[in-house]
């Protein structure tokens, strides 16, 4: 049971930062950016490249996060700001095109084979029978700290109040003297940095590969929709629910149903859990489980 909880926590850490950035940005620009998960993929490759040229791992991760944030802001200013003038549907279609361009660029520069970080082997930590590596523990701790800092920023600073006001009523916030453009650009930069950091830390375990963004697309969007698009904290809760569902699906023993001692679903079926949760959310709670929070904030 403890290992199940550890696995669910690790999966939540995989999704939380990227989902947080996606939902936070949606609250301001009001369209689901499909390319957001590819920013995570770019962050993974940037971290690998920086680490491979001799930079310490922590420095490589931080620098890759910053560069990914700059990339995100640049794409927003050069592409999405123009596309949004034609409506959110056009911008969403454009985000699919941007996603394909990013994948093609990385594929041409880095190839299709996974690039694994060169890290020393360490014995996993054992807690009550549950095993977790030091890298994974560091990943979870970093995610928790960043989420705590985000809560402080959102609810206990002037910038956070401005962000919530702009997300609630852009016209009124602009009329009140808030610099909507500066706030949106700042949130775009932060969301890209979160995506880059989330992708690069995930790549420490899986390696940097071109399918990393595609693998994240469904669970990240399912978590964001489940938590309520535009509700960053709800999106993190959605990531936890998606992680619990995916971990449950791959840990259920179906053997007794088929006369076998042990029979588990392959990990490749993990996407089915996200599909199911996403479908149920759209059918019964299309605004997410925390839709009231979205409308109020």
Rounded distance between C-alpha atoms, residue 280 and residue 241, angstroms: 13
Tokens representing 86 are 């034609």
**Which residue carries 């990339």 as its tokens?**
71
What pLDDT does residue 160 have? 82
User: Smallest Cα–Cα separation from 17: which of 3, 35, 37, 2?
Assistant: 37
Question: 43 vs 70, 101, 115, 219, 233, CA distance in Å?
Answer: 11, 15, 13, 18, 23
pTM of this prediction exceeds 0.95: no
Average pLDDT over residues 166-181: 73
pLDDT at 233: 83
Nearest to 248 by CA among 2, 4, 3: 4
Identity of the highest mean pLDDT range in 37-51, 124-138, 250-264: 37-51
Give tens-digit pLDDT for 198-221: 999 999 988 899 999 998 998 898
Q: Band of the pLDDT at 173, cuts 50, 70, 90?
A: low
CATH of domain 2-296: 1.10.3470
User: Does the pLDDT of residue 177 top 60, yes or no?
Assistant: yes
DSSP string, 119-162: ----PPEEETTEEE-HHHHHHHHHHHHHHHHHHHHHHHSHHHHH
pLDDT at 297 > cutoff 50: no
Rounded alpha-carbon distances, angstroms, from residue 228 to 59, 117, 142, 234, 291: 34, 35, 24, 6, 6
How many residues comprise the chain?
297
Name the burial class of residue 284, with classes exposed (0-12), middle (13-18) and buried (19+) by CB atoms within 10 angstroms of its CB: exposed
CB atoms within 10 A of CB 251: 14
Long-range CB pairs of 283-286 (<8 Å, 24+ gap) are 285/226
Rg of the chain taking only CA atoms, in angstroms: 19
**Chain segment 5-64, per-residue pLDDT in tens:** 888 888 888 899 999 999 888 888 888 899 999 999 999 999 999 999 989 999 999 999
The Cα–Cα gap between 113 and 142 comes to: 28
> Where exactly are the structural domains of the chain?
2-296
In the DSSP assignment, the letter for residue 76 is I
């Amino acid at each position: 049971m403890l290992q199940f909880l550890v696995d669910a926590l690790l999966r939540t850490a995989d999704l939380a930062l990227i989902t947080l950035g996606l939902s936070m940005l949606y609250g301001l620009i009001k369209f689901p950016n499909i390319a957001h998960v590819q920013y995570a993929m770019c962050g993974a490759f940037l971290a690998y490249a920086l680490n491979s040229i001799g930079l310490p791992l922590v420095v490589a991760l931080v620098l890759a996060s910053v560069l990914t944030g700059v990339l995100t802001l640049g794409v927003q200013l050069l592409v999405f700001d123009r596309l949004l003038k034609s409506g959110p549907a056009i911008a969403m279609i454009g985000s699919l095109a941007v996603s394909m361009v990013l994948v093609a660029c990385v594929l041409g520069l880095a190839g299709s084979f996974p690039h694994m970080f060169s890290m020393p082997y360490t014995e996993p930590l054992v807690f009550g029978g549950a095993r977790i590596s030091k890298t994974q523990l560091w990943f979870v701790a970093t995610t928790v700290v960043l989420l705590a800092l985000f809560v402080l920023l959102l609810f206990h600073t002037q910038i956070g109040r401005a962000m919530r006001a702009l997300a609630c009523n852009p016209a009124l916030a602009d009329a009140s003297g808030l610099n909507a453009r500066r706030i949106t650009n700042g949130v775009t930069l932060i969301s890209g940095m979160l995506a880059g950091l989330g992708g690069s830390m995930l790549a420490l375990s899986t390696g940097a590969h071109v399918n990393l963004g595609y693998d994240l697309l469904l669970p990240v969007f399912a978590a964001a929709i489940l938590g309520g698009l535009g509700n960053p904290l709800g999106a993190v809760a959605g990531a936890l629910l998606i992680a619990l569902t995916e971990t449950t699906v791959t840990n259920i023993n179906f053997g007794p149903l088929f006369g076998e001692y042990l029979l588990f679903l392959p990990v490749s079926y993990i996407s089915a859990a996200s599909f199911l949760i996403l479908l149920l959310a759209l059918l019964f709670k299309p605004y997410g489980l925390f839709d009231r929070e979205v409308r109020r904030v």
